[in-house]
Each structure stands twice: as structure tokens, then as C-alpha cells.
Structure 1
Amino acid sequence: MVAITVLAVLASLAAPSFTSLIERWRARDAAEALVSTVYLARAEAMRRGGGIVVKKTSNTSDCALAGTKQSWGCGWVVFHDLNNDKNPDANEVIRTYSGAARTNVMHNSGGEYFTVDRNGVIGSLNAKGFNITPVSGGISSPAARGVCVSSGGASKSLRIHRASKSPPPETYEHRQHSSQPERHHAH
């Protein structure tokens, strides 16, 4: 009986750290899915001569996170808009992404879709991006991420919240993933 009590206490102490880990994983997964979506949409637009639309999925019985035009929490669909109506028909769908559980995905410009032309240029996005946050923590959560997308299609996923003594995430990630060596100048 004592062993079970000790195990229960240890489990209750470990639960908050697992929750934080899961929230970070979900936010990062959604951010990476958005970056992948941009790459896929640009490649398909260049291959098919344009007409690609990425549109948020509406609320479903399984997800109620898409209550506003800017909320993409229930997922999104990539489709070749053959009839130019900005709505996916069954024969137009290229890929569907489901939303990450208990994760808000907010389009900063407030749009419910963006388009990609034959040159891979993204329209209807205003070069802004998305904020991805846990449902429970909001933008101040350490798990919060942002995805920045330029009209030219360059996209990047960044941590939004960081400790004051750590380097900015874009500098740190760039240093870690840069293929070019740092250059030092002699004075």
C-alpha cells in the first residue's frame, strides 16, 4: 500500500512536466505541418500552372476550434481550385491536414484561405503568418510557436516565448542549422 501511495505521489509530480512537453510537441507539429503545407502548395502550383488554394477546415463534430475566419485549429486542405470558387470539390483535393489536438492555430491576417499562383507566389496572406498555441496557455505559453510566411513562399517556424537570458530563437536556430560556416574578420 505504501508503494502505491509513493508511486501516486511521484506520478502527480511528473504530470505537469509531461503536459508541458506534450503541448510543445503539439505546437511544433502544427507549425511544421504549416511549413510543409506552404512547400507542397508552391510545388503543386508550379507543377499545375497555378490555381492552388490552402483553406481552413470548418468546425466538425470532432473539432470546435475553427469558430472564426482566422482560426485554423481544425486543420486545412490543399486543393487545385479548377472552378475558382475557393471551395474544395472532391476531385480537387490534394492533401488534407487535421488539426493538432488541443492546439489553436490562428492566421494573423484573419483570412480563411490563401492562394498560390503558377510562379509559387502566395496571395491573400499579406506576408504575415500564424500563431500556434496550446488551448490552455495562449500566446504567453512556453509552447507557443509562430510560422512566418512571405509572399514569395519563404516560411519559418519560430518559438514565440523564451527565457530572457536565452538568445533569440531565429539566431539560435539559424546558427544550429546554417550550412555556411561563420566568418570571422580580423581587426
Structure 2
Amino acid sequence: MIESFKYLAYHIRTCGEDSIRVISEEVDDYVDQLHTEYNDFLEKTKHIFPHSNDWAFLDKWKELSVEELKEKWVEENKIGYADEREKLTGVLQRVEIIQGKEGHPYFYGEVLCSSGQTAAVLGSARHLPPENKSYIIIGVRRNHPEHGEVLEVHKMIPESKSSTEGEQLG
């Protein structure tokens, strides 16, 4: 798997994303690499993977068993502080502009969450997000003087393919 990842990274870097396609070894026109081609590839790409300190980690903890290595990996890579952000998924049922400034409108909305609860959201975007669309919303809970507890939107991503693909609000 690591070699496949390295090859993909190398291929993207040298040929571009547009040249990626998926083929199977069972397809008749699949051309396997010669051993010399594969060895050249390994030599040319040794700097690409791993980008991180994986080798140093393995060297430092080489005396540990595989299970102990897994635990140590988790321990060393955990983020040491709490994330105050919250993620919710749901349908934006109602949205209204509460402050129209130049540039991005500031809006208030109500989201019917996938859990069945309703959540209030406040945010700004280049365009007012359409109602009755499903979104993944990431933000922070705040108390608003007029609207009470709201989720202050940091990122709002349309969830369905029918929404504008790749458009991010917030």
C-alpha cells in the first residue's frame, strides 16, 4: 500500500492529476513494470514518502511490540487540547439576512439536524445559502443577545451532489 501511495504521489507530481486513471491487473492492456523500472522508481521516490517522522518514530520505538507501537503512535499523535468547534449535519429550513453589509451578508438560520433537533446558526457568506438544502456545518456555540444559543458558522459545506459541488460558505 505504501508503494502504491508513493507511486500515486510521484505520478501526480510529475504528470498532473488529469493523467490519473484506474486500471486492474486483470485488464488485457495492463502493462506491468519491469523490475529495473520498479527499482528506478523506488530510488527516485525515496524522498516523497514518508513526509513525516514515521521512520524516526519506528527507529525510536523499535523495541516495542506491534501492539505497543500502535498505542504509542496514538499517544504521540493525539491533539493535546479540546476542540471547541462542533459539527452538525442537517437541512437549512429557514434563513434570513440580519445584517446586510457590503460584501458578505450576515444571516440567521434554522437547521433541522439529522438527530431530529433544531439548531440556530449565525454566519456570513458571499451568497445567502439556499433553504431546504442539506449542509455539514462546523462552528462554535455562542450566546447571542437576540437569538439565544446559536452555532456561529465557521464553515458550511453543501452535503448533497445536487448542491453546487465544492462551494464552501463561511
With structure 1 as the length reference, what TM-score do the two structures score? 0.24
Q: Which has the higher strand share?
A: 2
Structure whose alpha-carbon radius of gyration is higher: 2
With structure 2 as the length reference, what TM-score do the two structures score? 0.26
